[in-house]
Amino acid sequence: MARVYNFSAGPAVLPEEVLKEAAEEMMDYRGCGMSVMEMSHRSKTYQTIIDEAEADLRDLIGIPDNYKVLFLQGGASQQFAMIPMNLMKNKVADYIVTGQWAKKAWQEAGKYGKANKIASSEDKTFSYIPDCSDLPISEDADYVYICENNTIYGTKFKTLPNTKGKTLVADVSSCFLSEPVDITKYGIMYGGVQKNIGPAGVVIAIIREDLITEDVLPGTPTMLQYKTHADAGSLYNTPPAYGIYICGKVFKWLKKMGGLSAIKELNEKKAAILYDFLDQSSLFKGTVRKEDRSLMNVPFITGSEELDAKFVKEAKEAGLESLKGHRSVGGMRASIYNAMPVEGVEKLVEFMKKFEAENA
Ligand SMILES: *Cc1c(COP(=O)(O)O)cnc(C)c1O
């Protein structure tokens, strides 16, 4: 078996242990004589799988009882509509636009009400997080929206914006479970799991109960109401059953690793290996303002498109996959999610050193 080091931004690397366990259970899940893929989502066995997944996630983050955990579909992108449809009672929301995903969410919200862009870092190709300590928060804003970790640009909010008492909604797709969080600071925290948790097809939304109401925008489809899924324990219709099962395994893996504080330490260690190298390299340069650097997505360039392409090609030949930057920004990007071993980052830096020496 030849596994590469996979630096893809998403779908992305998963813990090898989890994949092996899933493989072992593929044909016969614990004596059921069938795969989890083939199992009724109304069966007792599946109920245990989804209940355990939720319990382990609650345990990892420390989610209090007044928050619901929902397993949804439609990708993170569907939340761009679902959030305003469910939350825009005054039809006003404030958006902090720090990248393509936040921008898409802001544009989508504009279909349902007044979506104010109250801060942006687009002036410098989203290479920093704007100062959010004293923003012009709208008096009647239903919520303030951020994308906490900007997957494409490699920036991360190190402190949450001052929302002046308004509900904070955060897309955490690419930093989900990468470090401890205080969920009580959020009204909604959500993310597609295919970056840091599991296979594509599952979105996890953690929502404060008072935000889950029947008072949604007129015409909101049943499937796009949080209440539909909250009332049914995420089993209103067939959920992405296999994906949730894998997420559950990743939660158990994280608990075994020591939980979110331990994984944060490991993530900091990995990121430091790469950033320390970038900071002293004569060829490669990081593209993000230092204080805003993400622990998960690390974009870098050589300054020459030709060399960038050569690097990506030769890295692939060396077993270092998917280092090409997002099509909108070019250059390179190494996504070093929870499941990327330290060794993978060390191998990458080793390769970068060699490439630098050969192409100086
Ligand atoms: C990948 C990503 C998305 C889009 O996710 P889909 O599940 O493809 O809709 C949204 N936000 C962030 C931060 C992402 O990284």
What SS3 state is found at 38? helix
Banded model confidence at residue 188, pLDDT cuts 50, 70, 90: very high
Gap from CA of 29 to ligand 1 centroid (Å): 31
Architecture per CATH, 17-256: 3-Layer(aba) Sandwich (3.40)
For residue 341, what pLDDT is reported? Answer: 97
Ligand 1 atom nearest to 77, measured from its CA: 9
Mean predicted confidence (pLDDT) in 45-63 = 98
- Is the domain spanning 259-359 CATH 3.90.1150.10? The answer is yes
Share of residues in the chain with pLDDT > 90 (%) = 98
Gap from CA of 262 to ligand 1 centroid (Å): 25
The answer to whether residue 331 scores a pLDDT higher than 80 is yes
Catalytic-role residue among 171, 227, 249, 292: 171
For residue 231, what pLDDT is reported? Answer: 98
Q: Which of 308, 315, 317 is nearest to 285 (CA)?
A: 308
Of the candidate ranges 59-63, 68-72, 162-166, 326-330, the one whose mean pLDDT is the lowest? 326-330
Phi, psi for 295 (deg, rounded to 5): -85, -10
pLDDT in tens, 343-358: 999 999 999 999 999 9
Ligand 1 atom nearest to 75, measured from its CA: 7
Distance of alpha carbon 352 from its chain centroid, rounded? Answer: 26
- Residues near 357 by beta carbon (within 8 Å), at least 6 away in sequence: none
Which two tokens mark 206? 């953690």
For residue 196, what pLDDT is reported? Answer: 98
> Does the CB atom of residue 147 touch ligand 1 within 6 A?
yes
Task: Choose which residue among 78, 101, 193, 197 to substitute to test ligand 1 binding: the one with the highest number of ligand atoms within 8 A of its C-beta.
Answer: 101
> Does the CB atom of residue 130 touch ligand 1 within 6 A?
no
Give the full edge-to-edge strand order of the sheet including 297-301.
Answer: 285-286, 297-301, 332-335
The answer to whether residue 315 scores a pLDDT higher than 90 is yes
Banded model confidence at residue 327, pLDDT cuts 50, 70, 90: confident
Catalytic-role residue among 68, 94, 101, 227: 101
Q: What does the alpha-carbon distance between residue 309 and residue 330 come to, in Å, rounded to a whole number?
A: 9
**What stretches of the chain show up as alpha helix (H) in DSSP?**
16-24, 44-61, 75-87, 100-109, 226-231, 241-257, 259-280, 305-317, 342-359
Judge whether 101 counts as a catalytic residue. yes
For residue 20, what pLDDT is reported? Answer: 98
> What would you measure as the largest C-alpha separation in the chain, in angstroms?
63
Banded model confidence at residue 329, pLDDT cuts 50, 70, 90: confident
Residue with tokens 């192409």: 359
> Does the CB atom of residue 171 touch ligand 1 within 6 A?
yes
CATH 3.90.1150.10 domain extents, the chain: 259-359
Question: What kind and span of H or E run contains 334?
Answer: strand 332-335
For residue 2, what pLDDT is reported? Answer: 86
For residue 360, what pLDDT is reported? Answer: 81
Catalytic-role residue among 68, 156, 195, 227: 195
Gap from CA of 22 to ligand 1 centroid (Å): 25
Task: Choose which residue among 174, 202, 204 to substitute to test ligand 1 binding: the one with the highest number of ligand atoms within 8 A of its C-beta.
Answer: 174
The answer to whether residue 1 scores a pLDDT higher than 90 is no
DSSP state string for 148-193: SEETTTTEE-SS----TTPPEEEE-TTTTTSS---GGG-SEEEEET
The answer to whether residue 153 scores a pLDDT higher than 80 is yes
Q: What does the alpha-carbon distance between residue 51 and residue 226 come to, in Å, rounded to a whole number?
A: 18
Phi, psi for 172 (deg, rounded to 5): -115, 25
Mean predicted confidence (pLDDT) in 149-173 = 98
CATH 3.40.640.10 domain extents, the chain: 17-256
Residue 350, amino acid:
E
* Gap between the terminal Cα atoms of the chain: 35
Gap from CA of 116 to ligand 1 centroid (Å): 21
Q: Whose CA is nearest to atom 12 of ligand 1?
A: 173
